[in-house]
Structure 1
Amino acid sequence: MAVTSPTQPVIDIRRADDRARTEIEWLDSKHSFSFGHHYDPSNTHHGLLLVNNDDRVAPGLGFDTHPHRDMEIVTWVMRGSLVHQDSTGNSGVIYPGLAQRMSAGTGIMHSEKNDSWRLTGGESHGEPVHFVQMWVVPDESGIAPGYQQLEIDDELLKGGLVTIASGMDAHRNETAIGIANRYAALHGARLQPGQSVQLPEAPYLHLFVPRGEVTLEGAGTLHEGDAVRFTATGGQRVTAVEPAEILVWEMHAGLAA
């Protein structure tokens, strides 16, 4: 994996309405970076982050079985529930507060659907599932496929910035799922009005607001769906204007252009 390390500080705000969008019968997906047939050569990644999709899937439907390779895929559910099933035999229901990571490695097939009642035997529901799916590259290609999930809701209830997923040595003693990249970590926070957290400092940061409204120190208001790409800076405070949730990628390397 070729990496870069920037020197000039940049704060690049990307508004929700500027994202590419895939809207079909069962899916409303907004893409922060090039994805599928939405290709922009100037917007393929930030740091090590290649995908930040904000998805809403209708009940009873979803992504049929499809392949991935050499990618660390982290899924974070905001509302509702999502069923994961893959070719290594893993299956389960992902819900808010449950962190999930799939390492595609040498190759894996999986599906993601909003049909939890088919596993639990309960009654069907009419609620869409809202989740954010994020992809980062692994340190090396050809690793064994893997899967991990971890309940971290109690940690989030304590307030502050909580590590959701990390491959960094600095987070080995924290409650987090692992990813196969020693330069990257995902943090999250649930904030009530007036509560604030301080962003880490890193060569690359990506802040996403999947719910609510916050203010970013020195930059103003961020609405639901807005994102900020930080280069060679950090340490700013994020404060909730209304009940909100944020997702923050801390990355100490980036992909070479």
Structure 2
Amino acid sequence: MDVRRADERYQGGDPAAGIETWHAFSFGPHYDPDNLRFGAVLACNEERLAPGSGFDEHPHSHTEIVTWVVEGELTHRDSTGHESVVRHGDVQRLSSAGGVRHVERNDGPGPLTFIQMWLAPLRPGGDPFYEVVHGIADSTPYAVPEAGAMLHVRRLRAGERTAVPDAAHAYVHVVRGAVRMDGAELGAGDAARITGAEGLEAEGLRSDGLTEAELLIWEMR
């Protein structure tokens, strides 16, 4: 298990434009040949957008993009005609396939924070695909078969435990609160990269007055 701390991430974005970004993997000008990917995961970016700010239309291709809103409202528009507002508890996926363009903005009244994860597809090409699952239930898995991956959203009260799926690769990102895994304590923004996960559990801890931790767990074959 390789633990990566929140303060080890690369800082990006454009603060003058109301955009603050924290990159867990090599990204853009923050090139690190030893931190290019883990399993199918190519990027895990924490984006913080001030009201009225966002990312103008830009392209993607051959990438599975999965977004989890931490707080606020994310407005999405893409070149295939989809437009939606994504909130906490929703799972958004954009399969960029052979190519798609999209816009991501904070058109809401308050600050917006979201976690965006990019996964490598098993095969390139195909047609773009978009969906939002609203209010996904705790521990309900969300499959991304194009990347051979499954996302598990878990919310743990202090002392509550959950199994980390046995898998060739498992990636655990702590959204809020704190957990203990294999003797290591992880707080918000921390992540664990686990190879050959077997019999591993995460236990919720009380942290900063929060009674519940929230985890995003990727199970990858």
TM-score (norm 2): 0.93
Matching of residue 162 in structure 1 with residue 140 in structure 2: yes
Spell out the pairing of 1:1-257 with structure 2 (5 A cutoff).
Answer: 11-23=1-13, 24-25=15-16, 26-116=18-108, 125=109, 127-153=110-136, 155-156=137-138, 161-167=139-145, 180-181=146-147, 183-216=148-181, 218-242=182-206, 243-252=212-221
Deviation (angstroms), 1:65: 0.5
Could you tell me whether the CA contact under 8 Å between 1:152 and 1:164 is conserved in 2? no
* Partners of 2:105 and 2:143 in 1: CA distance: 22
Which one has the largest radius of gyration?
A: 1
Deviation (angstroms), 1:166: 3.0
* Partners of 2:190 and 2:158 in 1: CA distance: 18
Mark the CA change 1:234 to 1:29 in structure 2 (over 3 Å): closer, same or farther: farther
For 1:248, give the aligned amino acid. I
For 1:152, give the aligned amino acid. G
Percent of aligned positions with the same letter in both sequences? 41
Deviation (angstroms), 1:56: 0.9
What's the CA shift string for 1:148-206, capped at 9, x where partnerless? 111234x22xxxx3313432xxxxxxxxxxxx22x211111112222221100111111
Could you tell me whether the CA contact under 8 Å between 1:205 and 1:234 is conserved in 2? no
* Partners of 1:89 and 1:108 in 2: CA distance: 11
For 2:8, give the aligned amino acid. D
| Correspondence for 1:172 | none
Deviation (angstroms), 1:234: 3.1
For 2:140, give the aligned amino acid. V
Larger mean Cα displacement after TM superposition, 85-94 or 236-245: 236-245
What's the CA shift string for 1:29-81, capped at 9, x where partnerless? 11110111111000000001001001111111101100001111001101111
Deviation (angstroms), 1:246: 0.4
Deviation (angstroms), 1:28: 1.4
In terms of fraction of residues, the more strand-rich structure is 2
Could you tell me whether the CA contact under 8 Å between 1:163 and 1:185 is conserved in 2? yes
- Secondary structure of the equivalent of 2:142? strand
* Partners of 1:219 and 1:41 in 2: CA distance: 29
- Secondary structure of the equivalent of 2:122? coil
Could you tell me whether the CA contact under 8 Å between 1:52 and 1:132 is conserved in 2? yes
> Which structure has more RCO (C-alpha within 8 Å, separation ≥ 6)?
1
Deviation (angstroms), 1:239: 1.1
- Secondary structure of the equivalent of 2:36? coil
Could you tell me whether the CA contact under 8 Å between 2:164 and 2:197 is conserved in 1? no
What's the CA shift string for 1:82-119, capped at 9, x where partnerless? 00000000000000111110011111000100004xxx
* Partners of 1:162 and 1:215 in 2: CA distance: 21
Could you tell me whether the CA contact under 8 Å between 1:99 and 1:149 is conserved in 2? yes
- Secondary structure of the equivalent of 1:38? coil
* Partners of 1:166 and 1:141 in 2: CA distance: 14
Could you tell me whether the CA contact under 8 Å between 2:61 and 2:97 is conserved in 1? yes
* Partners of 2:118 and 2:143 in 1: CA distance: 12
* Partners of 1:234 and 1:59 in 2: CA distance: 43
- Secondary structure of the equivalent of 1:45? coil
* Partners of 2:82 and 2:131 in 1: CA distance: 9
Moved over 2 A (4+): none
Supply the RMSD in Å over aligned alpha carbons: 1.2
